[in-house]
Amino acid sequence: MAQLFEAVPSFYPDPILCYYHNSTRQMQTIRIDNIANWYFKRVVFPGQHLLFEAVREGKLKIYLVERGEEKFTSALSCGQLEVQELQPSPSSVLVGRFK
């Protein structure tokens, strides 16, 4: 189940909706700390899906949590995590009569 947390402060124009999934078997901590006057940090459990608002220029840093200690593993641009609205394709339209 996805969860949505607090929004980016209103003084940031055009926040984006981002999606992250912890596909590992370990607990993770994710952070965005490169945006002035805003800090984002969450614990993400194995298999958990997360929706959150961010600034496109934000860098999401991912840490594995092992024995209470965090180990940096990777970083992603929030722009890469942006949720895109899908446009319906002609093949997805149902045609026919329904009773």
Cross-strand pairs, 64: 28, 71
Query: Is residue 48 in a domain?
Result: yes
Residue 12 belongs to a domain: no
- Residue 36: the pLDDT is 84
Report the alpha-carbon distance of residue 99 to residue 94 in Å, rounded: 14
Q: Which amino acid is at 15?
A: P
Distance CA 11, CA 9 (A): 6
Predicted confidence (pLDDT) per residue in 3-45, tens digit: 545 567 777 888 999 999 999 999 999 999 998 888 899 999 9
Residues 6+ apart with CB under 8 A from 38: 8, 9, 12, 32, 55
The CA-based dihedral angle spanning residues 22, 54, 16, 89, taken in that order and rounded to the nearest 10 degrees: 0
Range of the domain at 30: 2-7+26-84
Q: What is the pTM of this model?
A: 0.76
Residue 68 CB neighbour total at 10 angstroms: 5
Assign 92 a pLDDT band (cuts: 50, 70, 90).
low
* Structural domains of the chain, count: 1
Give the pLDDT confidence of 54-74 residue by residue, as tens digits.
999 999 999 999 998 999 999
- The answer to whether residue 98 is domain-embedded is no
